[in-house]
Structures are given as structure tokens and as C-alpha cells.
């Protein structure tokens, strides 16, 4: 047989598939653009807590550095002292470490470079590319023009180099009031890009900085500081979200005007999720207005809130990998995040039994004052997790929803005269119901078949339902908090006229159940330990306890995977 002719594809090596950002980095390494060096950074502003949207940027920047043998800096863009606090710095550091990323010894702050930024400002003045302006903020907006009308030059644009240097120094020395003067770049007031119309580089702010104190009273604007920080640190790829795309010409202009190291800015689409908001301003309002309990409220999309709710760092990293990186803004279904979460928790969470809406089950023919220990599986997907012992006795608790006196046709759980299996235990048959003076069920009475220990019948008879339970004598009391979406609408910003996103807050986003019982093995769980309550969902131990010292379990996510179900339905079409 003759060998087939080669095609162009036959001559090409099998290359990995990259998203567009990674492809740029790979191409730069191949061509030697940066001497085969890759250096990224994650530059948060310390004016709030990180959220799931930041996780995407974190995983992208640190991930690229790890994949291409490079480095990634953690740098705080602390250029606005009126909104920044050490609390936010500490929380950001904690969140990134929790996600599993390490910046080694490369922790930087924009404030580390304030002296050098000032000197760069003087250099631009000397080059005739910056000037001190006396226009107010409102006048500056008027002079800038609009998207359809060109701007007009400031009357202070023609100041001499010497006068500008003198005024800039006086700004630094605190001789002017807030807003009295600014330092502006001298660009093109007729530019189609409004960002290029003499943007402000420095403004006067007589405010103490969380790191530099009262050393400075002028602070650099983000557009001015951002490129300088990247340049000073030797960054090769400055990865930003799409809203900075129109700012890239200014990023390039500043670096080219100074003739200093010029990284490449690349923009990608930020993460938007259904049923939540990602704006730090809106998240701050939720906290300040007391609409949530704090930044780490388990309903918040903040990483601290998600950690407290029971999210694992592996699940978040897998989610970021799954959604990928693209150039177009879109909104991701929250169900996909929950799907990634379940995939991880299913593999890693030990199983246990808990009853969150209890009713007592009494086994009349079980010996009085006796008990036994039954073997239970810790994790069916992880044989190395082993087994545990669960106590069993005459009186148990089961879920109130697992019993009905007059069940409909498709209700297969416990009912009068019906037999069911108790998980890991025995078959039981309902014989009687005891009610209180209000007519509510107080106790359910049953008989058990001692030959069905372990949950199987030696005579081969079948039951249609298996119920979870806890031993009334040995169980521990706990509080359980059931969390749902924080908002009722997929897009919380869709509000009626005169209302805002807070009108769509979900009144049922938190339900507190105070009369819950857990098997005794859970009493030793520590803060943030994760567990699957069989048949109920995945839960996490809250760092706090109730006033009387009982553990609190936060529901992380239910067992039902709506995303996987939806995907299967689409595949069948």
C-alpha cells in the first residue's frame, strides 16, 4: 500500500489549544518578544473585598505565570486613600492564598512608587506633555466635550515648563486646597477617544493614606499609575477587563512619552453571574445598609462569603477554567458554578446524617434501654475515607416531610401501614400516629424487622424508599441555615421605575432552622469543615456558634444538579 501524501496538518506539531490571551503569551515566547519571559500581575484596589469575578482574573494571571514558567506579582493599586483600608488589604491577601496562589516575595503597592511617579510627572512637564490646570472638576467635564463634540483646550494649557514645575511642586507641598489644581497630560482635545482629551494625572487630596500616612497630599489617577507600576515591575502582559480597552491608547501614550519599559495590555471579558451583582459599589451598599450581615455573608459573591458558605477553592478554580476567557461580555448561569461545586464536594465531602425538620419515630418492638452501633459509609466515592459508627436505639428522629398520613399516589416514603428502609439500619413499618392538642403529629410509631439489619431483607422483599435518621438519645442539637439566591431576578438591575437593584432582594434568601439534630460524629467538626447531609445537601460548619454554644451548619448547595439535568436534556434534543 502506498503511503498517503502528507498534508500541511501532517507537518504541524500537535499544539495545545489556548484561549486568546494564552495564545498571545505563547506566541510571544515562541518569537522571543520578551526574551521568552512571562511576567503578569494581579492589581486589586484595596477598597472592598474580592468577589468571584476577581477569582477569574486571579486564576488567569497566576495561571498563565504557572503554565508558562513565569512570575505573577500581587500589587495593590492604593491610589485613593479616601476609599482604601488595611482591612481590605488583609482580606485580599487571605482570599488569594485560600485560592491556592503564591506571589512568593513579590508583594507590591502603588504607594511604593509614589516618589518615582512624581518624578515621571516632572519629566512629562519638561517634555511639554503635562501641565498644571486650575479648572474645577465640573469645568473639566465641560471642556472635555462629548462623544459627538470635540473638547476645547484649558486656558492654562499654555503655561510655561518652569511655571508648571513650580506649581506641581507646590501641589506636592500642600499649598493648595483639594480640587484647586490638577496635573493633566497634554494630549489631543479633538481625539475621538475621550480618555485622550487631557486626562488628569494627579489630584489634590488632603487625606491620610493607610500606608504613607500624611506624607502625600497629591495622589496619582489610576490611568497614570497603572502603566507606570507595570513598567517599573517589568511586567510583560498587563491583563485587564474590557472596560479598560478604551484606556489602552492612554496607557501606551504615557509609556511611550517617557521612553520606559512598555508591557502589552490585553483585555478580556469580566465575569457576570445570574442572580448576583459584581459591582463593588453595590456590594458595599449591601454591607453598609445592613442588607446582609457583612462582607462574608454566605449569600454574598465575595470569596470570603463563599468560603464561609462552604465553597472549596478547587471548585472555584475549576469553574474559572470551565467558563474560559473570551473577548465578549456575557452572563454565566449561576447553576454552572453550583455544578462545579457539586463535582468537587461529591468527591471530597464525608457523609453524615442530620434531621433539620424533626419528628420523633418510636420503634415499639425495639428493646427498652438498648442501643447498638451500625456501620455507615463515609464517602461512597472514596473508599479510603473508611466507615464510621452511628448509634441506633428505640427512639429516632426523621424528617417530618418523610411521613404523610394520606399520601398521594407518587409518595413512596413512610405512611400508615407502609414499610420503608432506615439508612444503614432496618426495615420499619408504621403502625400508629400520636398527635398533640393542636392536631399536629408528635410521634410516629413503628415496628422493625430485626432480620433486616444493614438495610436488606433476607426474604428478598423490597421497599420503595430509604429514609435518613438520627438517634434521639445520642444526637446533638444544631442550628441550620438554608441559603438561596440573594436576588429574585437573574439580572438584579432590572428594577421598576424609581427603584434600584435592592428592590429585587430575595426575602427568602436565608431561613434559620433552630431545632435540628445531627449524628454525634459531627460534634467534632471544626470551622469551615464541609459535609454532605445525606438526602439534604452539602453543608459547612460556620466559624460562629449559637449563643448557647451549638454548632451552626450553612447549606452550601442542594444535591439536585439543575445544570447537569439541563445539559442532558439539551443533548437528547
Rounded distance, CA 535 to CA 559, Å? 7
- For the record, the C-alpha cell of 406 comes out as 394520606
Greatest C-alpha distance within the chain = 102
CA 565 to mean position of chain CA atoms: 24
Rounded distance, CA 409 to CA 541, Å? 38
Q: Is the dihedral of CA 490, 493, 494, 498 positive or negative?
A: positive
45 given a catalytic annotation: yes
Contacts of 173 (CB under 8 A, 6+ apart): none
- DSSP conformational letter for 401: G
* CB atoms closer than 10 angstroms to residue 497: 4
270 given a catalytic annotation: yes
- DSSP conformational letter for 113: G
Q: Please, which contacts does 454-461 make with residues 24 or more away whose CB atoms are closer than 8 Å?
A: 454/374, 454/424, 454/425, 455/421, 455/422, 455/423, 455/424, 455/425, 455/426, 455/427, 457/427
Cβ–Cβ < 8 Å for 447, 429: yes
Sequence-ordered alpha helix ranges (H) in 234-312: 248-258, 280-288, 303-309
Rounded distance, CA 548 to CA 515, Å? 13
Contacts of 44 (CB under 8 A, 6+ apart): 50, 54, 76, 77, 92
Contacts of 471 (CB under 8 A, 6+ apart): 371, 390, 391, 392, 393, 395, 396, 519
Rounded distance, CA 494 to CA 331, Å? 14
From the list 33, 45, 423, 443, the catalytic residue is: 45
CA 549 to mean position of chain CA atoms: 29
Q: Convert 332-364 to b/e letters by CB count within 10 Å (16 or more is b).
A: bebbbbbbbbbbbbbebbbbbbbbbebbebbbe
180 given a catalytic annotation: no
Rounded distance, CA 246 to CA 528, Å? 42
From the list 280, 317, 388, 481, the catalytic residue is: 280
Cβ–Cβ < 8 Å for 275, 334: yes
From the list 33, 129, 157, 270, the catalytic residue is: 270
DSSP 452-502: GTTS--TT----S-EE--EETTT-EEEEEEEE--SBSSSSTT---TT--GG
3-class secondary structure per residue, 499-548: CCHHHHECCCCEEEEEEEEECHHHHHCCCCCEEEECCCEEEEEEEEECCC
Pair type for strands 272-273 and 331-332: parallel
Closest alpha carbon to 196 in 156, 223, 172 = 223
Closest alpha carbon to 300 in 328, 314, 324, 279 = 279
* CB atoms closer than 10 angstroms to residue 290: 8
Positions annotated as catalytic residues are 45, 270, 280
Amino acid at each position: 500500500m502506498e503511503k498517503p501524501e502528507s498534508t500541511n496538518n501532517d507537518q504541524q506539531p500537535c499544539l495545545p489549544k489556548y484561549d486568546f490571551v494564552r495564545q498571545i503569551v505563547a506566541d510571544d515566547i515562541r518569537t522571543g518578544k520578551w526574551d521568552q519571559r512571562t511576567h503578569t500581575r494581579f492589581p486589586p484596589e484595596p477598597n472592598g473585598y474580592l468577589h468571584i469575578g476577581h477569582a477569574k482574573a486571579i486564576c488567569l494571571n497566576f495561571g498563565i505565570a504557572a503554565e508558562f514558567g513565569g512570575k505573577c506579582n500581587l500589587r495593590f493599586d492604593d491610589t485613593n486613600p479616601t476609599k482604601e483600608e488595611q482591612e481590605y488589604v488583609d482580606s485580599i491577601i487571605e482570599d488569594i492564598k485560600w485560592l491556592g496562589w503564591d506571589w512568593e516575595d513579590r508583594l507590591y503597592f502603588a504607594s511604593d512608587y509614589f516618589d518615582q511617579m512624581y518624578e515621571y510627572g516632572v519629566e512629562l512637564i519638561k517634555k511639554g506633555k503635562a501641565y498644571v490646570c486650575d479648572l474645577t472638576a465640573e469645568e473639566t467635564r465641560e471642556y472635555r466635550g462629548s462623544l459627538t463634540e470635540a473638547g476645547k483646550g484649558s486656558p492654562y494649557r499654555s503655561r510655561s515648563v518652569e511655571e508648571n514645575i513650580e506649581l506641581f511642586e507646590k501641589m506636592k507641598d500642600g499649598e493648595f486646597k483639594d480640587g484647586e489644581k490638577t496635573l493633566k497630560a497634554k494630549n489631543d482635545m479633538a481625539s475621538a477617544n475621550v480618555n485622550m482629551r487631557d486626562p488628569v494625572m494627579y489630584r489634590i487630596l488632603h487625606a491620610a493614606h493607610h500606608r504613607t500616612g500624611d506624607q502625600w497630599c497629591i495622589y496619582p489617577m489610576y490611568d497614570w499609575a497603572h502603566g507606570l507600576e507595570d513598567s517599573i515591575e517589568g511586567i510583560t502582559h498587563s491583563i485587564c477587563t474590557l472596560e479598560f480597552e478604551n484606556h489602552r491608547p492612554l496607557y501606551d501614550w504615557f509609556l511611550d512619552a517617557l521612553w520606559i519599559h512598555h508591557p502589552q495590555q490585553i483585555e478580556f471579558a469580566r465575569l457576570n453571574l445570574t442572580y448576583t451583582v459584581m459591582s463593588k459599589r453595590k456590594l458595599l451598599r449591601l454591607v453598609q445598609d445592613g442588607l446582609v450581615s457583612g462582607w462574608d455573608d454566605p449569600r454574598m459573591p465575595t470569596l470570603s462569603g463563599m468560603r464561609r458558605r462552604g465553597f472549596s477553592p478547587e471548585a472555584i478554580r475549576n469553574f474559572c477554567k470551565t467558563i474560559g476567557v473570551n473577548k465578549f461580555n456575557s452572563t454565566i448561569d449561576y447553576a454552572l458554578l453550583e455544578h462545579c461545586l457539586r463535582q468537587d464536594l461529591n468527591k471530597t465531602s464525608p457523609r453524615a446524617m442530620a434531621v433539620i425538620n424533626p419528628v420523633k419515630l418510636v420503634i415499639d418492638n425495639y428493646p427498652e434501654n438498648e442501643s447498638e452501633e451500625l456501620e455507615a459509609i463515609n464517602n461512597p466515592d472514596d473508599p479510603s475515607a473508611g466507615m464510621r459508627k452511628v448509634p441506633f436505639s428505640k427512639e429516632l428522629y426523621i424528617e417530618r416531610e418523610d411521613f404523610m398520613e394520606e399520601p398521594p399516589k407518587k409518595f413512596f416514603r413512610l405512611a400508615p401501614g407502609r414499610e420503608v428502609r432506615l439508612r444503614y439500619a432496618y426495615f420499619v413499618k408504621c403502625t400508629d400516629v400520636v398527635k398533640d392538642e393542636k392536631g399536629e403529629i408528635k410521634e410516629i410509631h413503628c415496628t422493625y424487622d430485626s432480620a433486616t439489619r444493614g438495610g436488606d431483607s433476607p426474604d428478598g422483599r423490597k421497599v420503595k424508599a430509604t429514609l435518613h435518621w438520627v438517634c434521639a438519645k445520642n444526637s446533638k442539637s444544631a442550628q441550620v441555615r438554608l441559603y438561596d439566591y440573594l436576588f429574585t431576578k437573574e439580572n438584579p438591575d432590572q428594577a421598576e421605575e424609581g427603584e434600584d437593584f435592592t428592590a429585587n432582594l430575595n426575602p427568602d434568601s436565608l431561613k434559620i432552622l433552630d431545632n435540628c439534630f445531627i449524628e454525634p460524629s459531627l460534634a467534632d467538626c471544626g470551622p469551615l469543615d464541609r459535609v454532605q447531609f445525606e438526602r439534604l445537601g452539602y453543608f459547612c460548619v460556620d466559624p460562629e456558634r449559637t449563643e448557647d454554644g451549638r454548632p451552626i451548619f450553612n447549606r452550601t448547595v442542594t444535591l439536585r444538579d439543575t445544570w447537569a439535568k439541563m445539559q442532558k436534556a439539551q443533548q437528547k434534543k
